[in-house]
Amino acid sequence: MSEYGKETLCIQGGWQPKNGEPRVLPIFQSTTFKYESSEQMAKLFDLEDTGYFYSRLQNPTSDAVADKICKLEGGIAAMLTSSGQAANYYAIFNICEAGDHLVVSSTIYGGSHNLITVTMKKMGIQCTVVDPNASEEELHKAFRNNTKLVFAETIANPALVVLDIEKFSKVAHEHQVPLIIDNTFATPINCNPFRFGADIVTHSTTKYMDGHGISIGGAIVDSGNFDWSLYPDKYPGLCQKDESYHGIIYTEKFGKAAYITKATVQLMRDLGSCISPQNAFLLNVGLETLHLRMQRHCENAQRVAEYLENHPSVAWVNHPGLKSSPYYELSKKYLPNGSCGVVSFGLKSGREGAAKVMDRFSLISIVTHVADARTSVLHPASHTHRQMSDEQLKEAGVAADLIRLSVGIEGIEDILQDLENALK
C-alpha cells in the first residue's frame, strides 16, 4: 500500500477489508474483545502475542486510521491519541522523565508551550527555549548532558515560521537526541519531516486531517530511524527493563517499533488518553479528502494573502507563500506544493483595529479553531495566547495586533468579499 501516491493513501490506506468484510472502515464500538482461552489472553498481557483486548490500548478502528497516517508520513508505526495535546505530551514523556531536559522552539503553539514550559516543568522536566531562526552555533549552546530531545513545528501556529528541519535535525543528531516535529499545519500532504531528518512526527488531527471541525484527536508517528539502543543510559525507558511488563526491554523485543510500542502499552495503559473509535472513524472520513482540501486551502490562502498585502488598511501580512515572507525560500524547499491555509496580518489601526474588525465579519467566524473547511478568524493575544506575557508573545512571534485568519475552502470570491466589507 505505501508504494501508492498520497492521494490514493488518503482514500485507501489503512483499512484493508478481507473477503466479505465491510468496504468502509467500521466503527468497532467495543471496549473489549473476546478470547477463547485464558492462555491467549495471558499472552496478550505479557506482550507475547498481538491482538486487541481493551480499547484504551488499541482498537481496530483507531489502528486502521493510525496506519493510514503512518503511511502518509512514511513512518514505520503510529498511534492515535485523544487530542494533539496528548500526542505531544506522550511523544515527549515517552523518552523524558524528571531530571531530564529538552530543547524547544520558541514559536510553537501556545498550548504546547504551556505543556512544556509550565506543566512538564512541574513534573521535573526542564527546557531551553530557542529561536527557530538561531544559527547552528547558537542551537548547540542550548544542549545539556541531560537533553533528551528537540521539539519544534514545521509551520509554527500562529507565527507561521517555517522551520529549517534539516538544520534542527543535524544539530539534534550531533547531540545524539531525536527531533520531534509537530507537523499539524503542513500535514503529510505538504511536508514529510522524516525526509529531512526528523525522527518522530506528531499531529493535532483536530486540524486539517479531520478538517471539518468535528473531532478532537492526535497522532504520533515514528520514522524508526533513531537508534535508541545506541544510548541505553540516555533512554533507559526504552533500553532497560520495564518492571511493569515483567522486565521486557522494548528495544530488544520490538526493535524499530520500540518507541511506539512503549507509548502504547505503557503510557496509554497508565495515562489513558485514547481516541474513541467514533472519533477515529470521523477522522478517517476527513483524511479521505485531505489531499484535495489542502490544495484548495493553500490556493485560497495565497489569494487572500495577496489581497491583504495590497489593501490600504493592512500594515503587514504573513504567509509562507508570499514572496515578501522571510520564510519564502524555506517554504520552497520544505513545502513546494503549498504551506497551509493560515494567513496572519495586522492592521494599520493596530491592536484596537484588530479587535474591531473581528466583529465585522459575516461569512468568516470567530472561533478558537484553525484548519477547518470554514474560514475562521482569531486574535491570539486575546484568545489562545492570553496567558502569555508581552515578552513571551514576542518570543513566540505573536504580535499583539496579529489577526490569525484560517482560510477555508469556500468560494474565494465570497471570502474576499467578506474581508473587503469588514476592512472598509
Which residues contribute to the site for ligand PLP (CB under 6 A)?
Answer: 83-85, 88, 109, 111-112, 153, 157, 182, 184, 204, 206, 216, 218
CB-nearer residue toward ligand PLP: 84 or 408: 84
Neighbours of 328 (CB within 10 A): 15
The 3-class SS string of 25-88 reads CCCCCCCECCCCCHHHHHHHHCCCCCCCCECCCCCHHHHHHHHHHHHHHCCCEEEEECCHHHHH
- The three-state secondary structure class of 219 is strand
> Are 186 and 154 in contact, with CB atoms under 8 Å apart?
yes
CB-nearer residue toward ligand PLP: 218 or 346: 218
As measured in angstroms, the least distance from the Cβ of 398 to ligand PLP is 13
CB-nearer residue toward ligand PLP: 88 or 94: 88
As measured in angstroms, the least distance from the Cβ of 1 to ligand PLP is 26
As measured in angstroms, the least distance from the Cβ of 296 to ligand PLP is 20
For residue 347, what is the DSSP state? E
CB-nearer residue toward ligand PLP: 240 or 365: 365
21: Cα within 13 Å, side-chain hemisphere: 10
As measured in angstroms, the least distance from the Cβ of 422 to ligand PLP is 24
User: H or E segment at 10?
Assistant: helix 6-12
Would you give the distance in Å from CA 226 to the centre of its chain? 19
CB-nearer residue toward ligand PLP: 26 or 111: 111
As measured in angstroms, the least distance from the Cβ of 263 to ligand PLP is 16
CB-nearer residue toward ligand PLP: 239 or 275: 275
CB-nearer residue toward ligand PLP: 204 or 318: 204
As measured in angstroms, the least distance from the Cβ of 99 to ligand PLP is 26
Max Cα-Cα span within the chain: 74
As measured in angstroms, the least distance from the Cβ of 207 to ligand PLP is 6
As measured in angstroms, the least distance from the Cβ of 219 to ligand PLP is 10
Residue appearing with cell numbers 474483545: 33
CB-nearer residue toward ligand PLP: 89 or 143: 89
Cα dihedral 183, 189, 191, 197 sign: positive
Amino acid making up residue 278? Q
- Residue number of the CB atom closest to ligand PLP: 84
Number of H helices, E strands in the chain: 19, 12
CB-nearer residue toward ligand PLP: 115 or 422: 115
As measured in angstroms, the least distance from the Cβ of 337 to ligand PLP is 19
| Angle subtended at Cα 59 by Cα 53 and Cα 64, rounded to the nearest 5 degrees | 140
Distances (CA, A) of 366 to 58, 126, 336, 369: 36, 35, 30, 9
In b/e form, how buried is each residue of 342-360, taking b as 16+ CB within 10 angstroms? Answer: bbbbbbeeebebbeebbee
